[in-house]
């Protein structure tokens, strides 16, 4: 904490120094002669997207298994000018997804015991219990809705050289809720050729933890494999033999400890600096410091240990093909849930450089270097070239390259050792690189000719991106954005 205080003092001193210099510059600035409204009229942005992905490294099933996922999301953002200086922003998002890996929180179709079973097919007469990391279960966790809301307020000074803003937000999903708040201050000087900003945010999340079925049932039954979920269910060993469930040496999770601290807090400070380099180019450099603490692992995600015997539920014939998508009928019982440290310090440093080539082309470049204390280092580069084909249409081809090293706590399926303190088989924390190819077309109605009731159409954006990771994950996303402005 001493370091934190010291850091805050340094930030405060640095900003005070810079802002003090900036004050002198403002004396000669005559921009307050005419005060243009920050926002002329109410603006409404509606953005909808469809996202689909597939891969073979699902974290819920320990680093192998289908990652098939579909997501429909819609965001509505309304900016309201309260007066010449102040703008109120209201933002809401709803996202509904269907996920094969989430469904495999309980992969055991046909499982019928237990009062809070997750399987919608319960109650039928079929007593055979099967499941696989390679197929979606019919469990209730297959579907979910994520929703969030944000209210922001910003105030600009008369000379437009100082901008203050504040926001509060809320987000909810079936396994957590989040409350957040933030504030920012931006200072422009040097005849608005230079801009510096500082932003802080805090998010207070609370888990409503969901666990892999076999682990939570085992703990609830005090390790008794003859009651509840495990009643009348055969457990198979590595070669497909039915084991004696009274043998204390057969399968059991290595820990009976579930989430102890349901909180997950995030604190961030962002610094930014922007500079006009000439009549056609400008640059910005920015950095965040993000501190997270609390339960940072995902309790849904299974881990399997190399030094523990393997046990299964399902069809013995599929055990030799367990890691192959051809396995549709057997599931390996987890050794534990993912365990990760209760703190994480993330440090991304980014840069943007935009260059106006001519009236047809603009170059937009972005680079980010990132490191954290979990061992991940990454580089991100993005190039986008807006092409103005007419007054009304702009095309946006883009390419993004991303690479990261693996977290200190990552190992693939069945490669961790039970002696480790922290472990995950989540491939989002593995070493990989990815490429993303994007194309967008924007229609711009300069004079807002098209009207719908009291609002006029300003822009329409249609975007498609293809994302491919060298681990095999592929994703497609298509977005449609429409911007309206309220008639004056």
Partner 1 sequence: MKNRIILLILLTILLSGCANVKGYQKANLSDPDMTLSDRKSKKFETTFQIYREGASGANGGKSGGGCGCN
Site for partner 1 in 328-357 (CB under 8 A): 340, 344, 346, 348-350, 352, 354, 356
Q: Residue 277 CB, nearest distance to partner 1 (Å)? A: 5
Question: Could you tell me if 207 and 259 are in contact, meaning their C-beta atoms sit under 8 angstroms apart?
Answer: yes
| Residues between 387 and 426 that touch partner 1 (CB under 8 A) | 394, 396, 402, 404, 407, 426
Separation in Å, CA 310 to CA 331, 414, 436: 10, 9, 38
Q: Which of 89, 190, 323, 435 binds partner 1 (CB under 8 A)?
A: 190
Q: Is 299 in the site for partner 1 (CB under 8 A)?
A: no
Q: Which of 86, 122, 237, 288 binds partner 1 (CB under 8 A)?
A: 288
Separation in Å, CA 105 to CA 45, 79, 138, 326, 446: 36, 40, 10, 20, 50
Q: Residue 96 CB, nearest distance to partner 1 (Å)? A: 13
Q: Residue 384 CB, nearest distance to partner 1 (Å)? A: 9
Q: Which of 68, 117, 119, 205 binds partner 1 (CB under 8 A)?
A: 205
| Residues between 153 and 182 that touch partner 1 (CB under 8 A) | 169-171, 173, 175-176, 178, 180
Q: Which listed range, 128-136, 248-256, 266-274, 305-313, lies at the site for partner 1 (CB under 8 A)?
A: 266-274
User: Which contacts (CB < 8 Å, 24+ apart) does range 348-353 have?
Assistant: 348/287, 348/288, 348/290, 349/285, 349/286, 349/287, 350/285, 350/286, 350/287, 351/283, 351/284, 351/285, 351/286, 352/283, 352/284, 353/281, 353/282, 353/283
Q: Residue 417 CB, nearest distance to partner 1 (Å)? A: 22
Q: Residue 180 CB, nearest distance to partner 1 (Å)? A: 6
Q: Which listed range, 47-55, 153-161, 216-224, 309-317, lies at the site for partner 1 (CB under 8 A)?
A: 47-55
| Residues between 9 and 28 that touch partner 1 (CB under 8 A) | 10-11, 14, 17-18
Half-sphere exposure of 4 (CA within 13 A, CB side): 8
Residues facing 339 on adjacent strands: 423
Separation in Å, CA 410 to CA 304, 361, 372, 406: 12, 43, 14, 7
| Residues between 64 and 93 that touch partner 1 (CB under 8 A) | 71, 73, 75, 77
Q: Residue 163 CB, nearest distance to partner 1 (Å)? A: 14
Q: Residue 223 CB, nearest distance to partner 1 (Å)? A: 30
Three-state secondary structure along 82-101? Answer: CCCCEEEEEEEEEEEEEEHH
Give the Cα separation of 38 and 32 in Å (integer).
Answer: 13
Q: Residue 376 CB, nearest distance to partner 1 (Å)? A: 4
Q: Is 258 in the site for partner 1 (CB under 8 A)?
A: no
Q: Which of 266, 310, 327, 332 binds partner 1 (CB under 8 A)?
A: 266
Query: Would you give the distance in Å from CA 148 to the centre of its chain?
Result: 13
Question: Could you tell me if 302 and 212 are in contact, meaning their C-beta atoms sit under 8 angstroms apart?
Answer: yes
Question: Could you tell me if 367 and 311 are in contact, meaning their C-beta atoms sit under 8 angstroms apart?
Answer: no
| Residues between 456 and 475 that touch partner 1 (CB under 8 A) | 461, 463, 465, 467, 469, 473, 475
Q: Residue 52 CB, nearest distance to partner 1 (Å)? A: 10
Q: Is 97 in the site for partner 1 (CB under 8 A)?
A: no
The count of residues interacting with partner 1 (CB under 8 A) is 108
175's CB contacts (< 8 A; 6+ apart) are: 207, 208, 209, 210, 300
């Amino acid at each position: 904490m001493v370091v934190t205080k010291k850091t805050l003092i340094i930030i405060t001193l640095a900003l005070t120094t810079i802002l003090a210099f900036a004050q002198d510059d403002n004396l000669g600035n005559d921009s307050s002669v005419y005060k243009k409204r920050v926002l002329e009229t109410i603006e409404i942005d509606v953005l909808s997207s469809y996202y689909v992905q597939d891969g073979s490294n699902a974290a819920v099933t320990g680093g192998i298994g289908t990652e098939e996922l579909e997501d429909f999301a819609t965001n509505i953002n309304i900016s309201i000018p309260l007066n010449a200086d102040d703008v109120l922003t209201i933002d809401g998002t709803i996202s509904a997804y269907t996920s094969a890996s989430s469904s495999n929180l309980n992969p055991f179709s046909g499982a019928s015991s237990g009062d809070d079973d997750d399987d919608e097919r319960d109650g039928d007469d079929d007593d055979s219990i099967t499941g696989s990391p390679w197929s979606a279960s019919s469990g209730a966790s297959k579907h979910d809705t994520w929703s969030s809301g944000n209210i922001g307020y910003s105030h600009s000074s008369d000379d437009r050289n100082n901008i203050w803003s504040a926001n509060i937000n809320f987000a909810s999903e079936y396994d957590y809720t989040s409350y957040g708040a933030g504030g920012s201050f931006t200072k422009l000087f040097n005849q608005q050729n230079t801009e510096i900003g500082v932003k802080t945010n805090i998010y207070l999340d609370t888990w409503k933890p969901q666990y892999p079925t076999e682990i939570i049932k085992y703990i609830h039954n005090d390790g008794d494999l003859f009651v509840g979920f495990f009643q009348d269910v055969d457990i198979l060993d590595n070669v497909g033999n039915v084991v004696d469930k009274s043998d204390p040496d057969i399968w059991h999770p290595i820990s009976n400890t579930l989430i102890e601290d349901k909180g997950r807090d995030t604190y961030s400070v962002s610094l930014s600096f922007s500079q006009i380099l000439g009549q056609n180019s400008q640059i910005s450099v920015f950095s965040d410091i993000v501190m997270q603490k609390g339960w940072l692992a995902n309790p849904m995600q299974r881990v399997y240990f190399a030094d523990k015997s393997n046990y299964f539920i399902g069809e013995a014939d599929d055990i030799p093909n367990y890691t192959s998508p051809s396995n549709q009928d057997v599931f390996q019982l987890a050794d534990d849930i993912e365990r990760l440290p209760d703190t994480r310090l993330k440090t991304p440093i980014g840069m943007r450089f935009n260059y106006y080539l001519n009236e047809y082309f603009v170059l937009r470049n972005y680079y980010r270097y990132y490191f954290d204390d979990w061992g991940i280092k990454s580089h991100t580069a993005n190039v986008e070239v807006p092409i103005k084909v007419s007054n009304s249409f702009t095309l946006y081809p883009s390419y993004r390259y991303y690479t990261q090293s693996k977290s200190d706590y990552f190992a693939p399926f069945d490669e961790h050792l039970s002696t480790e303190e922290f472990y995950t088989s989540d491939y989002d924390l593995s070493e990989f690189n990815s490429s993303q190819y994007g194309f967008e077309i924007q229609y711009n109605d300069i004079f807002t000719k098209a009207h719908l009731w009291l609002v006029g159409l300003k822009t329409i954006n249609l975007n498609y991106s293809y994302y491919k990771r060298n681990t095999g994950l592929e994703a497609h996303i298509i977005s449609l954005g429409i911007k309206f402005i309220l008639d004056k």
